[in-house]
Chains A and B, each alone.
Chain A
Amino acid sequence: MFRTSDIVLIGVMVAAAAMTYSIKRDAGEQLAAVRKLQTQIRTEEETIDLLKADWSLLTQPARLQRLVERYQEQLGLEQVNPYQFARIDSLPQRPLSIEDITAADAAGRLIDQTQTGAVE
């Protein structure tokens, strides 16, 4: 009663159905995973926002000042003095010790280029 072609076609149909089912199932699983990830991302973003707010609350100058006042004596904190600000080029040159000069001479970097001829 069944011809070969019928059997082949039924086979193809069953295979197609099975494939469709598996694809659909996979897609469903993927979608669920995506949704889960999206929820996670949203939670993370909200947490980040909250932590940012926490951070700015904890680093408020007003709070830091309160802490400084409380631990001032313990930590020996003092107010910054305008005299303490300077650029690097306004600092005086470090006085050279005799070791600096000999070390520089040994390395071939003469600190003083003056040559007299009498002394090498």
Chain B
Amino acid sequence: MIGRINPFRRIRQSGDDSSIVMDSARKSTGGRTRNRVIMTMAVFFGIYATIGGRLVYLGFQDPVPSGAPASRVTASRPDIIDRNGEVLATDIKTSSLFAEPRHIVDADEAIEKLATVLPNLDYEQTYNKLKSGAGFVWLQRQLTPRQQSEIMQLGIPGIGFRTETRRFYPAGATTAYIVGLTNIDNQGISGLEKYIDGQGLADLQQSGLALPKDLAPVRLSVDLRVQHIVHDEISSAMERFRAIAAGAVVLNAKTGEVVAMASVPDFDPNNPVNAQDKDRLNRMSAGLYEMGSTVKSFTTAMALDSGKANLNSTFDATRPITIGRQTIRDFHGKGRVLTLPEVFIYSSNIGSAREADIVGIEGHREFLHRLGILERMKTELPEVARPVEPKVWKKVHSITASFGHGFTTTPLQTAVGAAALMNGGHLMNPTFLARTVEEAMADATRVVSEKTSADMRYLYNLNATAPGGSGRRATVPGYRVGGKTGTAEKVVNGRYVSGKRFNAFLAAFPMDDPQYIVLSVIDEPQALPGQGATAGFNAAPIVSNIIRRSAALLGVEPEFGQEKAATLASY
């Protein structure tokens, strides 16, 4: 063996006879050393080969499932707060209890202990789960923190907790349509939750950078207190008048901020089982309606702004207008020549048609587009409907449009248009995020002149104070409310039906310098005994109640004019 390994040495050895002994000794020891080295190498090689082989073998094996599934990465979302910092939506951590039956020592004991904390734990089902021998079973989802700490104190082996992030809406149904919803993966699917995702949050979440600490809360323009009042009033009105739906919006006339907006029927975002129902629709921004006589505000403003009419102009409303097969009549017909303010406060259809007539068909259409009534509204809320207008405007369209029929629009943009008429003529996009007057004015466009706006304020005020004005039921002592009613008959199967109405009341307050626009709508209200079913009886009181309850919260000071002197004297 040695000879084979080292033949050269042997050759050299035979040529050197004098050192045979030494050589032999050296040969014998050197050979043994070499032998040992080789053996050691072989042993180590064997060991490493075994380890490597085992590693390769393990690498090809599927690991045996054990332990809890990887915690679902639920993306964090920023809190949503109202303008005063009240929480409208927040992430809360809930923990769910799981067990690893293989590691459970005594199932009976474990269940008995758990039952002291979770009294409604199903004994039999849990026992079967724990005896199943499965690697992992859920025992109870979404525990309260107290339950969690109590279970931890029990010290049962083989159970554990997984934390899950859940979106929680403290305000519940009150802000349901504004705040919106998220799905199981914490992605926004409606309302402002969806808008926030569109603003780059979705990308952040995808890249894993959406850390809860870095997400600044989103501050809305909504005032939760006013929002509650609005929600409360429309809910009770819908019940009282047995209507199929109701809604209202409070809009800041100076900034275009939506301070409150609600629509019923709605849903509870913490348990949105019925959110997909057909009648669950944010009627204020996604519902299209013929707004009826409230549109006469725009017709009147248009006539005034064109310069072809002023507050002293007169319009002949003696006879109904017949055009084609349609006859335009007045609901509260006076049968005489009316001045422009009379047309407004008596809500004369004939007078309004004459007002539109002096502007012309194209001018009329252009004005409604200019005010954004026929444009798709630009705002943060994703649920926005596109108004529907006749493809080609003819004389009859202009006439019907003058009193709010023949085209549909959303209540919210009607309120936005009214804000432009009241605030001096500046049209601004409605926003659900907090905004200052300066920011609003930077984006605003002038749509009517200062003079027209002043005239409109006068008319709104007149309609609420003058005898015969349709807005008298909306007045609130001290807050100088002005407004316009709208009672539209609804179209069923292509015909206007007199028993089904869509009522609205468009108001502004305080009238000397309008700060807020309040619009209420109520769909198919039934008359209370001894009352009518027109807007003055149902939509106007909603507005009145909202203003009475919320004006102080909105920072509007009451003023009593003449009555004030009496207060002073009666100390």
Contact = CB atoms under 8 A, between A and B. Distances in A.
Contacts of A83: 477-478, 558, 560, 567
Contact of B168 (A53, A59, A62): A53
A52 B548 contact: no
B571 A95 contact: yes
Interface string B528-571: 00000000000000000000110110000110100010011101
Interface stretch (A17-25, A43-51, A100-108, A109-117): A43-51
B87 A52 contact: yes
Interface on chain B toward A: helix, strand, loop, or mixed SS?
A: mixed
A2 interface: no
Contact of B571 (A52, A60, A61, A92): A92
B53 interface: no
Interface in B70-104: 86-87, 90-93
B108 interface: no
A56 B91 contact: no
Interface stretch (B170-178, B395-403, B460-468): B170-178
B238 to A, nearest CB: 16
Contacts of B551: 82
B228 A61 contact: yes
A51 to B, nearest CB: 10
B432 interface: no
Given A46-B93, A47-B145, A49-B92, A90 B232 contact: no
Contacts of A57: 170
A62 B558 contact: no
B446 to A, nearest CB: 34
Contacts of B407: none
B476 interface: yes
B552 A85 contact: yes
A56 B174 contact: no
Contact of B552 (A46, A50, A80): A80
B257 to A, nearest CB: 19
Nearest to A94: B571
B61 to A, nearest CB: 33
Given A47-B145, A61-B229, A85-B558, A53 B90 contact: yes
A56 B87 contact: yes
Interface string B131-166: 000000000000001000000000000000000000
A56 B564 CA distance: 39
B222 interface: no
A90 B552 contact: no
A3 interface: no
Contact of B91 (A49, A60, A61, A79): A49
A53 B87 CA distance: 7
B224 interface: yes
B478 A60 contact: no
B472 to A, nearest CB: 17
Nearest to B168: A53
B86 A82 contact: no
Contact of A62 (B172, B477, B479): B172
Given A46-B93, A92-B568, A65 B228 contact: yes
A72 B185 CA distance: 44
Contacts of B479: 82
Contacts of A50: 92-93, 145
A70 interface: no
A61 to B, nearest CB: 4
Contact of B86 (A56, A80, A86): A56
Given A53-B92, A83-B560, A62 B567 contact: no
B142 to A, nearest CB: 13
B567 A60 contact: no
A57 to B, nearest CB: 5
Contact of A85 (B225, B231, B557): B557
Interface in B212-250: 224-225, 228-229, 231-232
B170 A60 contact: yes
Contacts of B478: 82-83, 85
Contacts of B172: 60, 62
B563 to A, nearest CB: 8
Contacts of A87: 557
Nearest to B86: A56
A52 B90 CA distance: 9
A81 to B, nearest CB: 9
Contacts of B557: 85, 87
A59 B87 CA distance: 10
Contacts of A90: 564, 568
10 contacts: A49-B90, A52-B90, A56-B170, A60-B170, A60-B171, A60-B174, A62-B232, A79-B549, A82-B477, A92-B568
Given A82-B551, A85-B478, 19 more contacts: A49-B90, A53-B87, A53-B170, A56-B86, A57-B170, A59-B86, A60-B170, A60-B172, A61-B228, A62-B174, A62-B231, A62-B232, A82-B476, A82-B477, A83-B478, A83-B560, A85-B558, A90-B564, A90-B568
Interface of A: 46-47, 49-50, 52-53, 56-57, 59-62, 65, 79-80, 82-83, 85-87, 90, 92, 95
Closest 9 CB pairs of A and B: A61-B228, A82-B478, A82-B558, A56-B170, A56-B87, A57-B170, A92-B571, A46-B93, A92-B568
